[in-house]
Structure 1
């Protein structure tokens, strides 16, 4: 029997990704929920010794020895995020991206991302796809999963810091699972980003009839059922991270934190539930950097591990979103508990959503077929 060695794969531009459904937030939330169940059962792999690493990152020095080497600027890095996901997915892939906050001065996104999806048996490419929208929607969908299980069902008010891409996708995910939301309070850095956000909001979610631009973090948080900080900035000086104080927080609030922040001592107390999107991710991060780790990795879950290291809390107090989604741990238990979700970002999320989009693209003949080879020269 003759061998079939031909390998074709599809290329999906950003417009192809949109046609294939990458901006379908309700479906993305459902996909992330399904993925969290696989995480809890262990049917996945990421990089690193514990198979839970965020990825491998190239950073640049403040003062390069070589004139041609890029110099460190805020958020400048090159990064690869590989993962395998089992269940009905049975695919692997890697998101590769370059990031530099100075891109915005050129009219470009801060990060420019691509994803290659591979057959798990042969390693052959299945698709090479634009990944900015894919990454943005899977990032926003995770807070949506959190809200589905941890926010009050009657949530009506969102408090948002940072009306950028992450702010938009987080709001879209909250709307997918909390349809009674009718009010949003927003704090941003500039008029342009605020106007862009409010225009998007009016077109996308006209049912949000009460939109307030506020000037302080306290106003963002106060009386909000769902609070989220989606801002960006420099790491290193923890005192510069935007704070959230318990005295501002409404009883029963769900606090989703996919960006850098710090809590006051009252919010760090044991009666505030602390949920991680994937505990192994934080273990991997914590093993990679000096302590306190929160100054290097500003996600609030890393602060929680600093607290464990300092003897302020027990590690058993940190909850696993996958365990909650799988029904092995309680979701919201009463109307007054305050719950914080730390969102770190997982390569398996990219692979999950990329697989759904790839299969839909194949079904609907979207994208450009490219040939790797008919017969490889070297075997």
Structure 2
């Protein structure tokens, strides 16, 4: 009458064995997820069902001795969602971040992912999610590369040489077959050179490291942006060549003339609208815009210089053929990704399926019978 509940636990080594780093497969699963987003077969948090997540941020000062205080990139976030299609599950990514983690030899963010039965709420799997989150973050611009980049593109610029852009670059390269040259930009030249060395070793193509932003952007066919939130970067309109595609996964600023003279594709326009709703509710719209990836777009929409988000194009629309993506080889295209829990759910679900097939992971018991019933 009261069945026991077991769930699967997957450690980081388990996730690697289950294929979490398979970039091409992750792009395919994320493309499938975009199709479901375009059809509306999903839910996320908030009354609008499109909220990125719920955040805990800490005060600058507190009278409580154990309460954390604000610090660079210090926060917690819960990112719940439901995804339909063949996935048909709920899930939540639990995200803790603190820039000071580096002093403890820890990654800036430590993440876990829970997948749950949509009807009972019972846990299906709990998994390590740092690699999961990085893989799906990279795969999203990978899907955009498939649909928006000129397929004869020869050069890629990597703007920000951290682990997230490594995941982005890996996914993008799984979709492009003609790349011959890579420029790696970072404000720290040693990081740029290290990334360039990794590119040459892994892909056997020419790569150089630079610490000058213009050298990073100018002349590239494809540009992947995942710079630090602590060091937002600026690029100029005239640095971006005809036919270029910019895949944005991190904060940036640029000339108004660029944003009003390029094709803009968002990851999901209802998500972007939810960000604007949050900005209005914050009582400090401009301050909020400064802290989110879409801020430069939102300002121009408010000023009437860009179309409303409801009239704009999301990548799910492009994947489903409902709206055009790139319409000619000469237009400049910019894609903006802000991150959605549904991608963690779909890639996490895929890892659970793979783990079950391969006998990977550990079964944990929630109860044999719920107490008190």
TM category, shorter: over 0.9
Q: Which residue matches 1:103?
A: 101
Task: Give yes or no for the alignment of 1:370 onto 2:364.
Answer: yes
The answer to whether the aligner puts 1:11 opposite 2:2 as a matched pair is no
Q: Deviations over 1:154-183 (max 9, x none)?
A: 111111111111110111011111121121
Aligned to 1:185: 183
1:226-284 C-alpha deviation (Å, 9 max, x unpaired): 112211133xxxxx731121100010000011101011021121x31111101111111
Residue of 229, 238, 255 corresponding to 1:264: 255
Give the aligned partner of residue 255 of structure 1: 246
C-alpha separation between the residues in 1 aligned to 2:285 and 2:322?
32
Report Cα offsets for 1:272-309 as digits up to 9, x if no partner: 1111101111111111122225544330x232122111
Give the superposition deviation at 1:108: 1.0
- Pick the aligned partner of 1:56 from 45, 54, 57: 54
Residue 151 of structure 2: aligned partner: 153
Per the alignment, residue 278 of structure 2 pairs with 288
Aligned match of 2:300: 307
Give the corresponding residue for 1:220: 216
The question of 1:70 aligning with 2:68 is answered: yes
User: Structure 1 regions of 5+ residues with no counterpart?
Assistant: 235-239
Counterpart of 2:325?
331
The aligned counterpart of 2:225 is 229
TM-score in terms of structure 1 length: 0.93
Structure 2: distance between partners of 1:150 and 1:344: 17
After superposition, the Cα gap between the structure-2 partners of 1:267 and 1:179, relative to the gap in structure 1 and judged at 3 Å, is: same
Distance between the aligned counterparts of 2:215 and 2:187, measured in 1?
Answer: 15
CA RMSD of aligned residues (A): 1.5
| Residue number in structure 1 paired with 2:345 | 351
C-alpha spacing 1:92/1:80, structure 2 compared with 1 (3 Å): same
Runs (4+) of structure 1 exceeding 6 A deviation are none
Q: Describe the superposition over 1:314-345 as per-residue Cα deviations: whole angstroms up to 9, x where unpaired.
A: 21663211101111111211111001111100
Q: Which runs of 5+ in 2 are unaligned?
A: none
User: What CA distance in whole angstroms lies between the structure 2 residues aligned with 1:287 and 1:139?
Assistant: 24
Q: Offset of 1:184 from its aligned partner?
A: 0.8
Show CA shifts across 1:321-371 (max 9, x none). 110111111121111100111110000010010000111101111001111
Distance 1:283 1:6, change over 3 A: same
- C-alpha distance in structure 1 between counterparts of 2:320 and 2:287, whole Å: 30
Q: Quick check: 1:162–1:188 contact (8 Å CA) kept in 2? A: yes
Contact 2:9–2:361 at 8 Å: present in 1 too? yes
Q: Report the TM-score when normalising by structure 2.
A: 0.95
**1:120 aligned partner:** 118
Aligned length: 368
Q: Distance in 1 between matches of 2:172 and 2:313?
A: 21
Correspondence for 1:361 among 349, 355, 361: 355
Q: Is the 8 A contact 1:282 1:302 kept in 2?
A: no
Where 2:257 maps in the other structure, the secondary structure is: coil
Q: Secondary structure at the residue paired with 1:177?
A: coil
SS of equivalent to 2:29: helix
Match of 2:161 in 1: 163
